[in-house]
Chain A
């Protein structure tokens, strides 16, 4: 069984300079409760690894606006003009990664692999400084694994072992990120006893999860 904690307790061991993966695609499947606790806690010099920063000035953007984020690694920052401004001013170092490469680097980090060989980015600015390998006559870029100190992921339902179900398109980056950090926090809208979650509906197995946090369900029709 995994401990069920408040967002504040879940953020307790996070320190200045921590690297934190955050699941979600825009606001879909996006964990927000522990990010709020990180904001309250006041830690800084953070590296945030997330596909995008979402539209709202909450979560990652709130931390960025407070000057707590020194580096962002993701695929898209166009949802919110603030990231573009911080990139220009140099206040936040931004590493842009093609989305498919991004998720596969995270997966490699969690799956014990030494990297990913992908054709994506060949002949573009993404190739700069990277090794190109030829396999069976085809060229690939070597993209290195991504790992973090912490990952915060989201599920609709989880059991107390940490098995999680993420519905529809909310699985997105949560599945790969659940594997790729030293300490993984699962925010679940519903936490049930073992046996109450259909084993055929497990999006990520319990083995990856360290801490559970119960959060509210988003209102239907709203975001």
Chain B
């Protein structure tokens, strides 16, 4: 996927976040959401390594070794931010105090099952905060490419990879589609400006219910 696609995902997700919400952004495409957050909506970013009020990267030479983001990169704390230890940080996550978590995925399926932490035998970086975030956040949004590098659908009928969490995903946003996970199944609510419903259906490994009023983004 090109940068245009990645930025489109980030921009669409930023539009979805309500005023005054507390949001945690994962590594990769989710991090790009930062650039599209409206300044006047009071949205605060939670960083699971111990603070709320994550700001942009500091200017060179201004890095504070005690303020890093969840990927270890230099970060800043916005006015009104606050710091805490990891136990408090995950109490925020697990206790239902985090409004949104935006995560990448390897696979998502019809039931909202998420696989994003391992490909056995190939890729075992660990779990980090992904399991707690997907179980604990009120809304779980997946930001990912619609298909894999090899062109295989990443939205599938049933996840084949080990699960990060069962039945937790609420929304899937790709460069092609905006899909809501509902008890009835996956509802295609919007498609990207440069694609068609047929194209999205072809690239999806699960059944899609097409919304009556299909939007564009």
Contact = CB atoms under 8 A, between A and B. Distances in A.
Given A79-B72, A123-B166, A168 B64 contact: yes
A107 B85 CA distance: 11
A13 interface: no
Interface stretch (B121-129, B173-181, B197-205): B121-129
Contacts of A84: 124-125
A223 B98 CA distance: 30
Interface in B55-75: 60-68, 72, 75
Contacts of B48: 99
B18 interface: no
Contacts of A28: 49, 65-68, 72
Q: Number of contact residues on A: which range applies?
A: 35 or more
A222 to B, nearest CB: 8
B126 A171 contact: no
Nearest to A106: B87
Contacts of A55: 72
Given A78-B125, A167-B66, A221-B63, A172 B50 contact: yes
Interface in A122-174: 122-126, 156, 166-174
Given A25-B49, A169-B66, A120 B94 contact: yes
Contact of B132 (A99, A123, A166, A203): A99
Nearest to A219: B65
A77 B125 contact: yes
A196 to B, nearest CB: 20
Contacts of A98: 127-132
A141 B63 CA distance: 40
B135 interface: yes
Contacts of B93: 100
A203 B84 CA distance: 9
A26 interface: yes
A96 B127 contact: yes
Nearest to A51: B86
B127 A99 contact: yes
A173 B65 contact: no
B interface, by DSSP: helix, strand, loop or mixed?
loop
A218 B165 CA distance: 38
A175 B129 CA distance: 18
Contacts of A59: none
Interface string A38-78: 00000000000001100100000000000000000011111
Contact of A100 (B68, B132, B167): B132
A99 B63 contact: no
A121 B64 contact: no
B68 A103 contact: no
Contacts of A77: 124-126
A92 to B, nearest CB: 13
Interface of B: 47-51, 60-68, 72, 75, 77, 83-87, 89-90, 93-94, 124-132, 135-136, 162-167
13 contacts: A28-B65, A28-B68, A55-B72, A75-B129, A77-B125, A101-B132, A125-B162, A167-B83, A168-B67, A169-B50, A171-B86, A173-B86, A175-B86
Interface of A: 25-29, 51-52, 55, 74-79, 84, 87, 96-101, 103-104, 107, 118-126, 156, 166-176, 203, 218, 220-223
